[in-house]
Amino acid sequence: MNVPTMAEMMAQGKQPEVLFWVGCAGSFDDRAKKITKAFVKILNKANVEFAVLGTEESCSGDPAKRAGNEFLFQMQAMTNIEVLNAYKVKKIVTACPHCFNTLKNEYPELGGVYEVVHHTELLKSLLDEGRITIEGGKFKGKKITFHDPCYLGRANNIYEAPRELIQKLDVELVEMKRCKTNGLCCGAGGAQMFKDAEKGTKEINVERTEDAIEVNPDIIATGCPFCNTMMTDGVKITNKEKEIEVLDIAELIANADDL
């Protein structure tokens, strides 16, 4: 796996096509790290010149902002913007819709203006440009349902890129009763990932997993490390671990290709 850092690139006098913003989950969470690696493998195979910030990356500030801590958010944002601008970054890709949303929509006013794309968008354009091919491989004929991450779907109106990628896998894409603009949250957004839920009658991720179970899929596909955690837990709680796998779209594509 080839993962150059921006510092290394700069030392060589090179400017990458795109900066891969790994995000905290993608860097530290064991499950999400697999998504990070799957995505890197695809980038490597497609010969995309990318780089990461590595140890110079820091939290985008999204969870702080959604928790109401605008100070901490802006401290994070401005520190990150200084680093990004110093490297003259033009384009950023990330596999985390929360980082994606914040970098894309909330950084520009603070001086960080970049073209920011979600990894499913980048994969879609690589596919359109013929730089990658997607084949079903071991997923051929499987039934897959896509859980829309709120920060990709409703927050940024991206519904089609992930679905088009899934359909390329020669699989049966089934929609849950609540999908796209009506998609139900996994329960992790708005900093909920980092706290217990308030008192209620049910966990949100269970409610959402039941939506998925209704359409009887082999795989629940996601495009967000937090949705991935929530849905994986949901599948465990509902005792469907043996029947249903939860995978990120990058993993689907990389695994199909045996990367």
Q: Does 96 bind another protein (CB under 8 A)?
A: no
User: Which residue in 46, 78, 83, 173 binds another protein (CB under 8 A)?
Assistant: 78
Q: Does 196 bind another protein (CB under 8 A)?
A: yes
Q: Does 192 bind another protein (CB under 8 A)?
A: yes
Q: Does 177 bind another protein (CB under 8 A)?
A: no
Q: Does 22 bind another protein (CB under 8 A)?
A: yes
Q: Does 219 bind another protein (CB under 8 A)?
A: no
Residue labelled with tokens 């839920």 = 197
Stretch that binds another protein, among 18-26, 113-121, 130-138, 217-225 (CB under 8 A): 18-26
Q: Does 41 bind another protein (CB under 8 A)?
A: no
CB 122 within 8 A of CB 20: no
Would you say 127 or 231 has its CB closer to another protein? 231
User: Which residue in 194, 214, 236, 241 binds another protein (CB under 8 A)?
Assistant: 194
Stretch that binds another protein, among 63-71, 135-143, 161-169, 242-250 (CB under 8 A): 63-71
Q: Give the ranges where 106-224 is alpha helix by DSSP (H).
A: 119-128, 160-167, 204-214
Q: Does 44 bind another protein (CB under 8 A)?
A: no
- Smallest Cα–Cα separation from 42: which of 205, 168, 195? 168
Question: Which tokens is 247 given?
Answer: 């995978």
What is residue 171's DSSP assignment?
Answer: -
Residue labelled with tokens 């980048």 = 122
Q: What is the CA radius of gyration of the chain?
A: 18
Site residues (CB under 8 A) for another protein, limited to 107-146: 109-110
Distance of CA 203 to the CA centre of its chain: 22
Q: Does 28 bind another protein (CB under 8 A)?
A: yes
**Rounded-to-integer distance, Cα 63 and Cα 98, Å:** 8
User: Which residue in 204, 231, 252, 253 binds another protein (CB under 8 A)?
Assistant: 204
Would you say 85 or 182 has its CB closer to another protein? 182
Q: Does 85 bind another protein (CB under 8 A)?
A: no
**Rounded-to-integer distance, Cα 22 and Cα 36, Å:** 7
**Residue 192 contacts by C-beta under 8 Å, 6 or more apart in sequence?**
204
